[in-house]
Chains A and B, each alone.
Chain A
Amino acid sequence: DSGVTQTPKHLITATGQRVTLRCSPRSGDLSVYWYQQSLDQGLQFLIQYYNGEERAKGNILERFSAQQFPDLHSELNLSSLELGDSALYFCASEREGHEQFFGPGTRLTVL
């Protein structure tokens, strides 16, 4: 157990819809990262938040947005969903060390 929690575990929705994925970092971790893993692909970095502020952006689509709240949990919002958005979405948190601790992921299926 990494200490990072993600909800929901599975999400099935239709094209054009909007969903919100939630991540709670390890206690005390200020940084939250979001990654997307499509079928047979590596982990694609989407966005990082540090103590409530956006810190770095990766390959995140304009239809996607995220935020980190004062209690440090983070939400990833995906809108106007397309079939290609079906993937595993991971969040990870980091405190001071160099390794990130990953949550179990949310599997999103867009039908």
Chain B
Amino acid sequence: DQQVKQNSPSLSVQEGRISILNCDYTNSMFDYFLWYKKYPAEGPTFLISISSIKDKNEDGRFTVFLNKSAKHLSLHIVPSQPGDSAVYFCAASDGFDNYGQNFVFGPGTRLSVLP
């Protein structure tokens, strides 16, 4: 039973346009969400996060939107650049204690930005 879903395995976008990556979750206890980017032969790298007390967080070209009632979040990349081509993982956590967090990752969406 996948608690974090990324229903689009792949996405192609033209350079300069907006990329929208979607993520759905089922566990209502999740209160912290992150996006990671992964290039081939490298480990995932942190991109942006959002707490459940917010509905939007922005960092440069990257914006994450959270819709708690729909249990849905999305990552917007504007404008998209060829260097953004990578696999994007959505991750969720149901709490942070003194020992760290237990993240649940989605299966990933492969973004291809075409020049």
Contact = CB atoms under 8 A, between A and B. Distances in A.
Interface of A: 2, 4, 6, 30-31, 33, 35, 40-45, 48, 50, 55-56, 58, 90, 92, 94, 98-105
A55 B46 CA distance: 22
Nearest to B96: A98
Given A42-B89, A104-B43, A105-B43, A98 B101 contact: yes
Interface residues of B, number: 27
B34 interface: yes
A99 B46 contact: yes
Contacts of A2: 43, 45
Interface of B: 4, 6, 9, 32, 34, 36, 41-46, 49, 89, 91, 93, 96, 99-108
Given A4-B43, A31-B99, A48-B100, 8 more contacts: A45-B105, A48-B102, A56-B99, A90-B43, A98-B96, A102-B44, A104-B41, A105-B41
Closest 6 CB pairs between A and B? Answer: A102-B43, A42-B107, A31-B100, A43-B105, A99-B46, A50-B99
B99 A55 contact: yes
Residue among B45, B100, B102 with most chain A CB within 10 A:
B100
Given A2-B43, A98-B32, A98-B101, A43 B89 contact: yes
Contact of B104 (A45, A90, A101, A102): A45
Contacts of A100: 46, 101, 103
